[in-house]
Structure 1
């Protein structure tokens, strides 16, 4: 890995259980970094912290020794992660990213005609971050009664399940089945 290259991170979009020897293929897009056959990877999100070594890399039905940022690939992993792997998690270089359930963020609400609406403390939103979609409960600052359409505001969001998060990461929010706004993680909370 070069000095400017960030550690490997891949969004898990699907998981296939292969018949040969309990091997699992996690497919998705590499968001950053590189991965090579034999590299250790960590499965992050939804309460999992499984570690595995990449047994093979599949790119369009061809086996390759390494893959990099922007590529859609399949990582073949030992069956130890079979029960834990699911869409919405990430595979990453071990220790490079953590899973969290609470964070502060700045969110921008869409106009009312595009799905924005008043958001109150205690309201549930669907938070879409990386490949995960998780319900989250919003807490507004004491001096704010509601976050209204076209407004930008600081909020705290508590998720039902832990997902891979980093400061500066963008996400989208939906309410009542419609796009409602977008945000940026400003601080991860313990």
Structure 2
């Protein structure tokens, strides 16, 4: 223990309505940090982040039980006000600790042909699997490159159809025409001092 508490982060995997619509249960795995009832969390994963208060916490398992706090590695459902908008693929986080982005830099690698990999042309529409959500987007290849071949990698810029919660170093997968095509890692984000285009 360093004595420094990590910012809280939960990946939303499912959403339920509870207590006749007075609460929304956002269920998922806590990646890091700790949360208690009454804490403020930010719903991240759309063009407008919203901060809400945690009403309660239910432990996951065969018998749902209300608990006083939860930390990294636990699967829980955070009860949030029924008026908030949260969906699969969003994250709940310490306010200001993570941002939502539509454009980011990444290193991607295409699967080899024997694993189903195929050429990825520039600006081809792909499906990106980021945490528990999926969103469509396109890749801009390096100058002078029209296509990325199977078993090859490149530094690219990804532009998504909508904003999602992203961090540098975050892994993701992508699909082309309904088939697994490759994987990647976020290397640059706008506004972080490392973005150059």
* TM-score normalised by length of structure 2: 0.90
Aligned to 1:47: 47
Aligned to 1:13: 13
Superposed CA RMSD: 1.6
**Counterparts of 1:21 and 1:143 in 2: how far apart (Å)?**
54
Paired residues, number: 188
Deviates more, 1:99-108 or 1:142-151: 142-151
Runs of 5+ consecutive residues of structure 1 not aligned to the other structure: none
**Counterparts of 2:126 and 2:48 in 1: how far apart (Å)?**
23
Q: Which runs of 4+ in 1 moved over 3 A?
A: 1-5
Residues 151, 161 of structure 1: alpha-carbon distance in 2 compared, 3 angstrom cutoff: same
Measure how far apart 1:188 and its partner are: 1.0
Residues 5, 151 of structure 1: alpha-carbon distance in 2 compared, 3 angstrom cutoff: farther
Runs of 5+ consecutive residues of structure 2 not aligned to the other structure: 192-197
Deviations 1:131-175 (A, max 9, x none): 120001111011222111110111111000100001111111111
Tell me the secondary structure at the aligned position of residue 80 of structure 1: coil
Preserved CA contact (<8 Å) 1:120 1:139: no
Aligned to 1:172: 173
Preserved CA contact (<8 Å) 2:142 2:154: no
Residues 101, 117 of structure 1: alpha-carbon distance in 2 compared, 3 angstrom cutoff: same
The aligned runs of 1:47-66 (5 Å cut-off) are: 47-60=47-60, 61-66=64-69
Deviations 1:39-68 (A, max 9, x none): 100101133412111111000311111111
Preserved CA contact (<8 Å) 2:11 2:92: yes
Aligned to 2:194: none
* TM-score normalised by length of structure 1: 0.93
Aligned to 2:114: 113
Residues 142, 79 of structure 1: alpha-carbon distance in 2 compared, 3 angstrom cutoff: same
**Counterparts of 1:157 and 1:21 in 2: how far apart (Å)?**
37
**Counterparts of 2:22 and 2:160 in 1: how far apart (Å)?**
32
